[in-house]
Structure 1
Amino acid sequence: MALLLGSCSQDQPATSSTAPTSPAAEPAPTTAVPAPAPPSVAQSSADVVKATGHDTLRTHSGLVIAVQPADKAIWQQTRPAALPLWPDSVEASPLAQTGGRVQRAGLDLALKATNGRTVVLRNDTTDSENAVQYSYWGQLPGAHQWVVSVGLWEGHSVVLIDQRTGQRTDIWGRPVASPDGRYILASNADLAAAFDPNGLQLLQVGAKGPKLVWQRELINWGPTEARWRPDGSIIVQQEFGPTEAGADLPARYVTLQLPAAIR
């Protein structure tokens, strides 16, 4: 170790020769490299009252969804989902469209999957926090899902039952399927009561059923309805709480552009 340290020492000359040495070359002039300029417009969260053209929604899974403002004309040109905005209080008509695979028997709602499995959802009519009411809402044929509205003691939720496997998937709110049936977007607005999550969920539909890809709860606006566009983007109708002066803000619209990795 001592020999190694001695050979590396900068305090002693490398040789004892007295021969003259060449003068050290002057360092070549260097050109200063300017620091990269910051972007002209910074990315900002789209959880704001007024959207801009450079907003994003960032999820806990690391995905970044581009969000841009849209106008009402684009909203009106986009076809709404086949599923009603709210479930019908009378189940007879939507049940009749299932070919007998979904039936009501008293408190029980029975859904029979293609693989032979029957899923039974039973209402709890007790006057307690356990009370629950399952109401058949409709179906998303392209995504192979039956949709059931769930009324809770406080608030509500939605259940998807896969028509092929009987897999149950609990989601926040109204689901809409992408044109190719590969994805489902669930949206729910609850700014006032705050009983339920206020935000968006994206699910990917696989062979066994839907699987959650990302979700994002929102603070400053609520998604009252979402519609898929033919290009795979999504347009969302936004709901806002009253201003400090008590005035209600009108609905606005934004488009969500999903990351290329999941399109």
Structure 2
Amino acid sequence: MIRKKIELSTYLVLVVIGLVVTSCGSKKDVVYFQDAQDYETIVSDNSHNNTFKIDDVLSINVSTLDAEASLPFNVFKGIQGNGSRPEQLDYIVDKQGNIDFPVLGEVKLLGLTPEETKKMLKEKLQPYLKNPIINIRLVNFTVTILGQVNNPGTYFANGEQITILEAIGLANDLNIKGMRNNVLVIRDFNGTKVYTRIDLTSKDALNSPVYYLTQNDVVYVQPNKSAVTSSTLDNRAGVAISIASLLITTTLILIR
């Protein structure tokens, strides 16, 4: 009788420990583009043209063969002299979507792409300059990666566009506990927040409206089932140890 009670107690201890350490996970939770076949050619028509938003910081440089003629159309910090060129100031898109451009005054950039802005400025500068060259760079093109990634943070994007995969690469990829089929992108359209989810386990992600990120996008990777389960292991372990101790104590009393 006592032996049966000991065996029962041992079985219960093992069951409790098993419940604590057991967690589920599968290949489907961590593999990207699972439905892409070998040698499959995917032609994506997902085009992206970045447009300027309120509070964007832009570097705009105007140049011509006649450097003196183009000088009034560039704003510099300090005074040029002694053969040195002072630092050029950036432009900030105000709440009305405008920048204050030298000589031209207020110029509306809100919603324009860099190429559209170049074309528009060239037209406006034709009365003053011959064949002006316009260079535009978005200074504040950053994306923020949060959640279950190896290095969360805010990252600067080089160039005029960045994909969500490239952004995740900057954060050294999702960790094993990141939910790859339900990644959230938070995008700001001049004060209006838009929330869009993308499934990185499917090749259809290439056609998602958030596959190409825009400036100041926030990417949040939420925890998967494994992460949620492991977050409660400490509490479960404490309960399991208490139950196991009680069962062992009870068994020892029965043996006597």
Q: TM over 0.5: same fold? A: no
Q: Sort the TM-score into its range (normalised by shorter chain).
A: under 0.3
Structure with the largest fraction of helix: 2
With normalisation by structure 2, the TM-score equals: 0.24
The structure whose RCO (Cα within 8 Å, separation 6+) is larger is: 2
